[in-house]
């Protein structure tokens, strides 16, 4: 993102939140991090002054005030007499480290034998790259290198997922079992199973899959079935194992991953509200069956809303 300078080159967000607003403080920090804002200790956060960054900071300021905090968005010429070049270099250094992490991830996923990336892997890396580009205000020299590597990876023949050998036909008309009180990953996985794998799926709940012999376990703590695998949530495992590589499903997977694991790998926040809704219904005593049904409806709506 190249910077179009306004009248003042920098924009400062100074704010104060009540100490009891811990969750709002964490969410604010996450948003500032996604924007790539430069922390200045107690002074606040800094970004290059553009129409887009002003809009973002003004929105955050309104949010802070709604939480009974104080916030100001101010255009500034300099900060503590630091040269503009030094501030730009500090921002660029952070983006450079993020690009270096992407290069490392590309090499790790391809491995020593330079295997081609699967469409799902490539889509994830492209999304992460785009997120860094959106906050790369001064164009780190590594940006073009990562872009070239991604283009080269996309030109290679697509790799079939090593786990994508399961035939959907072998899982039709089955009983499926998962843990009680389903959250976002289990609800999304049930939706995926019913929508793309087993339209006649019958879902059951148990602490131990041995309680339902013959049922296919998913998102259970015990070995076997479909669950978290490596850095993937259950939804991603199902996608990989059945070779489901539709672009919209890849976006849903990113949303479910971030909501379930909370590691912000993809920077997707859409699933957090869905997860909180499921938690709220569970606290109201909604049955497991009804929780799963409502969760499936939420994911269907999300899926249809995606481009």
Alpha helix segments (H runs only) across the chain? 22-35, 51-66, 84-110, 119-134, 143-155, 184-192, 234-242, 247-261, 270-283, 288-305
What gap in Å lies between CA 165 and CA 148, rounded to an integer? Answer: 31
Q: Is the pLDDT of residue 120 over 80?
A: no
pLDDT at residue 278, rounded to an integer:
92
What is the overall mean pLDDT for the chain? 87
Do 248 and 306 form a contact (C-beta atoms < 8 A)?
yes
Of 125, 138, 133, 16, nearest to 67 (Cα)?
16
pLDDT at position 117 is: 75
Q: Do 303 and 248 contact (CB within 8 A), yes or no?
A: yes
Q: How large a percentage of the chain has pLDDT more than 90? A: 58
Residue 182 has pLDDT above 70, yes or no: yes
- The CA distance from 277 to 275, in Å, is 5
Task: Give the pair of three-digit tokens for residue 29.
Answer: 């920090």
Mean pLDDT of 279-291: 93
For residue 215, count other CB atoms closer than 10 A to its CB: 19
Q: Where are the domains of the chain?
A: 10-76, 95-155, 168-305
Q: Does the pLDDT of residue 159 top 50, yes or no?
A: no
pLDDT beyond 90 at 160:
no
Kindly report whether the global pTM for this prediction surpasses the value 0.75. no
CB 69 within 8 A of CB 16: yes
Tell me the per-residue pLDDT of 197-232, one tens digit each, with 9 for 90 and over. Answer: 999 999 999 988 888 888 999 998 777 789 998 889
Point out the least confidently predicted range of 60-64, 206-210, 249-253, 273-277: 206-210
- What's the alpha-carbon Rg for the chain, to the nearest Å? 23
As a CATH number, domain 10-76 is: 3.30.70
| 151 or 63, higher pLDDT | 63
Distance CA 48, CA 267 (A): 21
């Amino acid at each position: 993102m190249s910077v179009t300078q306004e009248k003042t080159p920098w924009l400062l967000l100074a704010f104060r939140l009540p100490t009891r607003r811990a969750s709002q403080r964490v969410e604010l920090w996450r948003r500032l991090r996604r924007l790539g804002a430069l922390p200045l200790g107690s002074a606040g956060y800094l970004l290059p002054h553009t129409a887009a960054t002003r809009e973002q900071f003004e929105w955050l300021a309104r949010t802070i005030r709604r939480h009974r905090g104080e916030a100001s968005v101010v255009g500034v010429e300099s900060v503590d007499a630091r040269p503009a070049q030094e501030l730009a270099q500090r921002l660029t250094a952070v983006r450079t480290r993020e690009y270096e992490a992407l290069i490392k991830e590309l090499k790790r996923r391809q491995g020593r034998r330079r295997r081609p990336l699967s469409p799902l892997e490539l889509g994830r890396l492209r999304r992460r790259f785009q997120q860094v580009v959106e906050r790369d205000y001064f164009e780190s020299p590594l940006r073009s290198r990562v872009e070239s590597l991604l283009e080269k990876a996309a030109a290679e023949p697509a790799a079939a997922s090593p786990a994508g050998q399961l035939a959907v036909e072998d899982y039709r008309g089955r009983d499926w079992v998962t843990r009680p009180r389903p959250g976002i990953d289990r609800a999304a996985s049930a939706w995926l199973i019913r929508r793309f794998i087993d339209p006649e799926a019958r879902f059951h709940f148990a602490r131990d899959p041995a309680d339902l012999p013959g049922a296919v376990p998913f998102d259970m703590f015990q070995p076997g079935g479909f669950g978290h695998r490596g850095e993937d949530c259950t939804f991603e495992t199902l996608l990989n194992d059945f070779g489901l590589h539709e672009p919209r499903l890849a976006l849903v997977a990113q949303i479910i991953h971030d909501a379930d694991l909370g590691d912000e790998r993809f920077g997707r926040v859409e699933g957090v509200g869905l997860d909180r809704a499921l938690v709220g219904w569970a606290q109201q005593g909604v049955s497991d069956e009804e929780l799963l049904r409502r969760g499936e409806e939420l994911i269907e709506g999300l899926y249809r809303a995606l481009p």
